[in-house]
Amino acid sequence: MTEPVILERAGPIARIRLNRPEAHNALAPASIRALARIWQELALDRTVRVAVISGEGVGFCAGMDLKRTDPGFGERGAEAGADPYAALPAEPRRIHYVPPPGLRIPLVAEIHGVALGGGLEIALACDIRIAAHGSRFGLPEATRGLVPGSGGMFWLPRIVGWGQAMEMMLTGRIVGDEEALAMRLVNRLVEPSALLDAAMEVAGRIAANAPLAVQAIRETAWRTAGAGVEEALAVSENQIRVLRLTRDVEEGARAFAEKRVPEFSGR
């Protein structure tokens, strides 16, 4: 049986590949369960410093597979309560396909083709989004009687601004590559042939930095997304206190003085 999501490691970089190309990588129940397991696995793997997520075939992810998947993430048409992973009506979802806020490693989304619905929500939950020319983006849930319930309504306004986000979500409008770049939905656009190299180059630069510092930056940014300035500065100050106790801070200073590349250990 073909794995719906493939996890590979290349040194400190993990590659996550959505693997339902025949369905534009639409999220079936098996895909969602595989992603949930992968987030747990990466959270426990100290050797991984950054992850890149992409889609096989002609698109990143077309969103939820509405022919296969019900809103509780079970098989559509299955008897309620028969699937232990699926939520009952009015019950909170039991698993999630988007990376959890507490995941310690940064994520880079490598986007081509379409990133719609749940596919865009995966990308929005990443820290950096690199897209190929010709990509398209949207949250069309309202046109199907649903809402972007896995982070889209939280992250999109914070990334592109209130007006742009509300227009996209309320109308279900699909935006193209240049518009996505202009509204800062993606960090950069590259030619399709250069997409993998661009994503891996960014991931490699992140992986070369001090792992604990990288984790502290991501944690602080997430924790203070809706905080006031005093709270945000207090969290930042606490991160400095902790990092000053690490070996990597000493290594960074020593390498700078000796004019060499630092060798960070994550300790």
pLDDT tens digits, residue range 185-195? 999 999 999 99
Structure confidence at residue 222 (pLDDT): 85
List 8, 121, 191, 263, catalytic entry: 121
Average pLDDT, the chain: 93
Q: What is the pLDDT of residues 82-111, one digit of tens each?
A: 788 888 888 888 889 999 988 999 999 999
Do 182 and 119 belong together in one domain?
A: yes
Say whether both 138 and 251 belong to one domain. no
Tell how far CA 146 is from the center of its chain. Answer: 21
Average pLDDT over residues 21-40: 96
Backbone angles phi, psi at 99, to 5 degrees: -60, 140
188 and 222 assigned to the same domain: no
Domain of 89, in residue numbers: 5-207
Domain annotation covers residue 263: no
163 or 1, which is more confident?
A: 163
Confidence of residue 1 (pLDDT cuts 50, 70, 90): low
Residue environment code for 227-243, b if the CB has 16+ CB neighbours within 10 A, otherwise e: eeeeebeebeeebeeeb
72: closest CA among 54, 88, 52? 88
Residue 60 has pLDDT above 80, yes or no: yes
Residue 178 falls in the annotated catalytic set: no
What pLDDT shows up at residue 78? 76
Residue 265 pLDDT greater than 80, yes or no: yes
If asked whether residues 18 and 136 sit together in one domain, one would say: yes
**Does one domain contain both 97 and 111?**
yes
pLDDT at 140: 96
State how many domains the chain has.
2
For residue 81, pLDDT beyond 80: no
Please indicate, yes or no, whether the overall pTM of this predicted structure exceeds 0.75.
yes
SS3 196: helix
- Within 10 angstroms of residue 142's Cβ, the number of other Cβ atoms is 14
Same domain, 145 and 220: no
Question: How large is the angle between the packed helices 211-223 and 247-258, nearest 10 degrees?
Answer: 120
**Is 56 found in the same domain as 149?**
yes
Q: From CA 137, how far away is CA 24, in angstroms rounded?
A: 14
Task: State the pairing for strand pair 107-111/50-55.
Answer: parallel
Among 209, 193, 156, 242, which residue's Cα sits nearest to residue 50? 209
Examine the domain organization and report whether 222 and 109 are in the same domain.
no
**10 and 121 housed in the same domain:** yes
Q: Quick one: 113 and 237 in the same domain?
A: no
Write the pLDDT tens digit of every residue in 132-183.
999 999 999 999 999 999 999 999 999 999 999 999 999 999 999 999 999 9
Last residue of a domain, which of 173, 190, 207?
A: 207
Asked if residue 98 is part of any domain, the answer here is yes
Known active-site residue 141: yes
Residue 267 lies in a domain: no
**158 inside domain:** yes
Same domain, yes or no, for 219 and 203? no
Q: Which of 141, 178, 191, 230 is catalytic?
A: 141
Confirm whether 266 is domain-assigned: no
Residue 196 has pLDDT above 90, yes or no: yes
